[in-house]
Every structure is written in C-alpha cells, then in structure tokens.
Amino acid sequence: MKILRSIGALVAGFLTCFVLAILTDVVLVMAGVLPDPKHPELYSDGLYVIIFAYTTLYSGVGGWVTARVAATKPLQHALVLGVLGMSASAFGAWANWDKATGHEWYPIALIIMAIPACYAGGWLHARRKHA
C-alpha cells in the first residue's frame, strides 16, 4: 500500500506542476503577454525569464504537494519528483533543441532548476510539519 501512496504522491506533484504551468501559459497567451506558442521565434529572453520564474515556482509547489501526500520520507519523494522533472526537461530540450535558437539557456536552466525547486518545496513542507 505504501508504494501506491508513493506513486500517488509523485503523480499529484507532477500534475500540480504541469496543470499550473499549462493554465498559466494559456492565461498569458489569452492576455497577450505571451505570443502564440506556435511561433517560438516571437519569444524574447525576457518572456523566457517570466516563464522560467513561474515554472520554478510551480516546481516548488509540486514538491510541496508530493511531500504532503507521501506517507513517509517526504523529502525523498520531493527529490524523486525533481529527478522526474529534470528528466522531462532534458527530453524536452532534446526534442526541441532546434527551436531554442538564441535561447539555449532556457531549456538548460529548466534541467538545472528541477531538482532544487522540487526539493525546496518538500523542505518547506517538512519544516512546517516539524514546527
């Protein structure tokens, strides 16, 4: 039963990150802040900084959710979520590298940020729980 709870914690954290990021993307496109995703050539470094900022925040929230749902070892679960996020970011960077022309820092930053952000979210949950 613990394994199902662990898997559920990871799924909950991953879905939290994914859904929040997609919803934010949609809202920002609808508001005219971000251009249509079909035109990555219109994205500037400034826009990528904004996307990176909320992606980092949502990764931390996902780490917090994962730690909160995990039955045991919340920090380890948050760390595993970070590894999954890093892997997904690495795959995304590989699959879309040709579209990152001039903005190669962005997919690399996502790869680097995944583990620390998720772990920080898990740490915040663990700290609050012990306070």
pLDDT in tens, 41-97: 788 999 999 999 999 999 999 999 999 999 899 999 999 999 999 999 999 999 988
What pLDDT score does 113 carry?
Answer: 98
Residue 21 has pLDDT above 90, yes or no: yes
Band (pLDDT 50/70/90 cuts) for residue 1 is confident
Residue 22 has pLDDT above 70, yes or no: yes
In a domain, 46, yes or no: no
Percent of the chain at pLDDT exceeding 90: 79
CA distance linking residue 82 with residue 111, whole number of Å: 9
Instruction: Identify the DSSP state of 31.
Output: T
Residue 116 has pLDDT above 90, yes or no: yes
What pLDDT score does 58 carry?
Answer: 98
Residues 6+ apart with CB under 8 A from 56: 113, 117
In a domain, 45, yes or no: no
What pLDDT score does 101 carry?
Answer: 77
Tokens of 22: 């997609």
In a domain, 50, yes or no: no
Residue 131 has pLDDT above 70, yes or no: no
Domain with 121, as residue range(s), is: 2-38+58-95+105-130
In a domain, 80, yes or no: yes
φ, ψ of residue 66 to 5 degrees: the values are -60, -45
Greater pLDDT, 102 or 92? 92
In a domain, 15, yes or no: yes
How many folded domains does the chain comprise?
1
Q: Are 55 and 10 in contact (CB under 8 A)?
A: no
In a domain, 13, yes or no: yes
What pLDDT score does 43 carry?
Answer: 87
In a domain, 53, yes or no: no
